[in-house]
Chains A and B, each alone.
Chain A
């Protein structure tokens, strides 16, 4: 039987149409039909200048964890134009991006519970509450709750808000309360028998297959692939800090959820180290931006491809310059695009509810898939 799932259905996390073929009650084939949220992101970047005009757009790609996207653009543009970033700004970047990662993972956990598990909206409410706390902190830092536009080429736009002590206290309160909050999630979700029945052993993808599909991020790490650009292709301040790459070898929906929850802990570790560093940083060395020329015109025909670890995985950007102040080609490699492709491998032979669970466990953001 041919079954349309979506394009307008809460379980598709955006606008996504799954063309599903069923054999009895089992999924024989599933083909995602994407493109409903296509907004010409690449083209818009090609029509804008490197220096100021592109940076607001990356926030619109993965709009649940925006800041890592800004870093993807900052990294590629800074490499292309040979721009240094002061160490202090690197710490601010690292801290803010880890907050954004927590934001993204909280939403992923909350909506996943909503998808697979009949607890009405309890877990979702908890997750949104914790996400709100992070949004409050980032609002203090950036002035925005979602479309942060915090990065600038060569640094960031603002220093920490004054009084700094108050900000540090707010961050520490959040970090201190986090372990207890995560315990609540484990009580609500992972230790729950119904939830386990829905997720353990469903949506399985082994490491080799995941590599074939180019899976990265929590999806890859839940299949035991020890791969994280923050460590493997270091940027920012990550190689100076003490943290671990989380992997699980369950390869299933449960493992993917677990990786995200454990990554929240790692992000918290990174944030608290950043806060310690920022607190002790000498006042006269708080450079938030380096000197960057007013107009950037990289040499014609320079080509560069660079990636960072977004909340969903490897977020890469290719840029070719043509000697003007705008990119001649701007290509975005979205981790969600690859991860969504792997759904067909996870769903084959599964029941429809397991297909929905697998889709939820991928944590795809259609804004980033379609760009």
Chain B
């Protein structure tokens, strides 16, 4: 992919985010991509909640996305959704979103903490925020289960919009 930055190029318009070749990323991820989505800031891939670690590890190690900038959790009428906003320390204009929809009845997704340490806290917050109850717990984290701790350990980090039931 074209990851060579041209710092001196004055013609480069920062608003157009076309430095990332999303087709190439899609090839890299293969059939783990359920669907592609387009956000204003970057392209995105919808994946299965069980594929979080594989997909993020591939994007980090093979495409250079070493910065988990943010994790957004939100509720739709028919599902919960987590969005991992990835970028690069070497070039912030390169971004990709990894979108993980999950079921309302049994909401969960694999934790990203083994790939990005910062996900520990983000996922803890998300587990309260998205669902407003003890849900969407992230499983298979490397060091215990942060989401579980946050949810069951009283208020903990889970100070989101909801209160654990």
Contact = CB atoms under 8 A, between A and B. Distances in A.
Contacts, number: 95
Instruction: Indicate the member of A232, A234, A304 with the most B CB atoms within 10 Å.
Output: A232
B69 A314 contact: yes
Given A33-B156, A35-B157, A212-B117, A232 B72 contact: no
Contacts of B93: 232-233
B39 A305 contact: yes
Interface string B55-76: 0000000000011111011100
Contacts of A305: 39, 41-42, 69-70, 72, 83, 85, 95, 97
Interface stretch (A149-157, A183-191, A256-264, A329-337): A329-337
Interface string A293-334: 000000000111111000000101010100000001101010
Nearest to A328: B74
B161 interface: yes
Given A35-B157, A316-B85, A211 B92 contact: no
Interface of A: 33-35, 38, 40, 42-43, 79-80, 209, 211-214, 220, 225, 227, 229, 232-235, 239, 302-307, 314, 316, 318, 320, 328-329, 331, 333, 337-338, 341, 370
Given A42-B161, A79-B40, A307-B69, A211 B89 contact: yes
Interface of B: 14, 37, 39-42, 66-70, 72-74, 83, 85, 89, 91-93, 95, 97, 116-118, 120-121, 155-157, 159, 161
A130 B67 CA distance: 35
A242 B118 CA distance: 33
Contact of B118 (A234, A329, A341): A341
B14 A233 contact: yes
B39 A212 contact: no
A229 B117 CA distance: 22
Contacts of B117: 209, 212-214, 341
21 contacts: A34-B157, A35-B157, A40-B161, A211-B66, A212-B116, A213-B117, A225-B89, A239-B14, A303-B97, A304-B41, A305-B42, A305-B69, A305-B70, A305-B72, A305-B95, A316-B70, A318-B70, A320-B74, A329-B72, A331-B73, A338-B118
